[in-house]
Structure formats: C-alpha cells, structure tokens
Amino acid sequence: MPCLTREWSPLDNGPKLQYFNLTGHGEFAFSASAGASAFYGLLRGEAGLDLDIEYTRMLAEIPGTETLTYVSTIYNSLRYRSDDTATRNEREKAMKDAQKKRQELLADGETMPEAQKQEWDLLEKYWETYQEQRPLWKSEVWDAYKNEHKENLNELARKFFQPIFEAKTGAQWSHINLMTVDGEFMRKRAGFKTPDKLKEQLDQKYSIQEYKYTTIQHLEELILINQYKNHQKHAFDYYYYSN
C-alpha cells in the first residue's frame, strides 16, 4: 500500500515543509557508517554515525521550498561521499591542527572568541585549497536530483534570496528571515558580512540584480558549500573536540 510521508521543520514562525515522498512496501535493510538522503538508493541520516536503517522503496519525492534543511542534508551527504579517503584524512588533520592552534592560543591567555576565529581562519585556508582542487565538483546523483526537482529547487533559491534583495541598503542579517540559516552563519561561515555584500557577489559574479533570476546553482555555490564546511566541522567536533 503506497504511503505519503511529509516531514516538517519547526521554525519560530511556524513549521515548514522539508519534503514529502510517496513510498511503497519495501523489504530493504541496510547498515552504513555514513548515511545519505533517502533518494536514488542512498540512506537517510548523514551524521558520521553508525546507523541501522530499514526503509521502504521510494516511488516519488518532492523537496519543500520553505527551508534548506532537507536539501542541504542531501548535498552534504553526496559531497562527503565524493571525497576519497585521502581527502578525508587530509581534512581531519587540518581540523586537528586548527584545534591545536586554538588550544595553544587559549593556553597563552587569548580569549575564546579570538582563538576560535583563528582556528576557523586556518580551516578556511584548507577549504580554499580543497575548492581549488575541485573547481567543477560533479556528482551524477546530485545532478540527477537537481534535474528531477529543478522547479522546486529553483523556487527554493528564489525564496531564500528574495528577502535579501528586498532588504533596504544597509540592512543587517538580523533584519532578514533566512529560513533555517542564521546571520552568524552568513557572516562568519558564508563570508558575507551584510546582505549588501551578498547582493554585490551575485551582481559581480553572475550579473544578477533581481532575486527572480536566482537558481539552485547560486544557492549551491554561495550557501550549500558553506553549509557543508560547517557540517564537517560539527562532525569533527562530535568525535574529537577538546578544550
């Protein structure tokens, strides 16, 4: 018997639909150390944890257009799976070195905010190299997912960028509803100190001056990749964080 599933993301201004899918009876059982989305045969739950998951056969799936949560989970999963063991080991070493730097600064009397800033600055140098080595990252599964849900994903991008374009000149991130993304992420992780800076980037890099012309490509290159960096740092901290 087919079953319709809807999953909601609880936000301050009301729940937002992450996705809904239609499933049929399935008899699949999988075990994985790093899951992914429940799409194209992948497992749900990318968290770097050992998971035993049973799930049903996917008949249809439509991502929501009100929150980045589900789409970013899919992106994080596929991006992580595309990194080979050497790349993952290199990233782990970079994060351990950055953590050691933070610890040394704190031992020398530096404040936690400044020590964390310098830790992240070191990580940014790693990520710059990472992206230079993968300027045209490709994933057949991610491309298929984008093609399958192009209309919804582009609508999601437009809804994300719309309040940014509509904000008055000089507005701060605290003045804008960013779905499930907060202003601190935009400033410290995505690298846009203000909404104006992001609009400048869209204009200079893509010649876009109105939100209606934004697509999933712009969301991917400006936001999702930075969410992936943040996700990897949280995953590292889960296992190895030390003061």
Q: Quick one: tokens of 147?
A: 């093609």
Among 64, 97, 117, residue at a domain's last position? 64
Share of the chain above pLDDT 70, in %: 73
Return phi, psi of residue 17, to 5°.
-70, 120
3-class DSSP string for 126-167: HHHHHHHHCCCCCCHHHHHHHHHCHHHHHHHHHHHHHHHHHC
Range(s) of the domain holding residue 227: 140-232
**Cβ neighbours of residue 22 under 8 Å, at least 6 residues apart?**
2, 3, 4, 5, 58, 59, 60, 61
Count of the separate structural domains present in the chain: 2
Among 29, 64, 99, residue at a domain's last position? 64
Neighbours of 136 (CB within 10 A): 4
Q: Is residue 111 a part of any domain in this protein?
A: no
CA–CA distances in Å: residue 188 to residues 68, 111, 113, 226: 18, 17, 12, 10
Q: Is residue 200 a part of any domain in this protein?
A: yes
Q: What are the pLDDT digits (tens) for 103-161?
A: 999 999 999 999 999 999 999 999 999 988 887 788 889 999 999 999 999 999 999 99
Q: Is residue 49 a part of any domain in this protein?
A: yes
Q: Is residue 134 a part of any domain in this protein?
A: no
Q: Is residue 109 a part of any domain in this protein?
A: no
Q: Residue 62: pLDDT band by 50, 70, 90 thresholds?
A: low
Q: Is residue 80 a part of any domain in this protein?
A: no
